[in-house]
Amino acid sequence: MHRLGKDYEKPPWNIHEVEVEGHKVPVLEQEVLRKPFCRLVRFKRYSDDAATIAALKDDPVVLVVAPLSGHHSTLLRDTVNTLLRDHTRST
């Protein structure tokens, strides 16, 4: 019974930067929407390099939905990190 009523702390995402085509690109985590049953979190990549910005801007949007009922979505941290790193077009 104790485990049923116990709240578990949500671990942080800890995705601060990713490497894209050999360059480290900072990542900003934004909570876009909060509801009693979910949170919509956006991860945005930034760069000062004009060519990198153009490549990042053309990438399609990817929505990752955590299918793990009763678990924290941060269990998908590696998946999100890989999508942020590899979901770019070569220039």
Q: pTM here?
A: 0.72
Q: Which two tokens stand for residue 91?
A: 């220039």
Alpha carbons 4 and 88: distance in angstroms, whole number: 42
Would residue 91 count as lying in a domain?
no
Would residue 20 count as lying in a domain?
yes
* pLDDT number for residue 90: 40
* pLDDT number for residue 61: 80
How many structural domains are present in the chain?
Answer: 1
> 26-75 pLDDT, tens per residue?
999 999 999 988 889 999 888 787 877 777 777 778 888 887 666 677 78
Would residue 2 count as lying in a domain?
no
CB 21 within 8 A of CB 11: no
* pLDDT number for residue 91: 35
Give, in order, the Cα–Cα distances in Å from 38 to each of 14, 67, 85, 91: 19, 12, 25, 36
Would residue 19 count as lying in a domain?
yes
**Domain coverage including residue 34:** 7-86
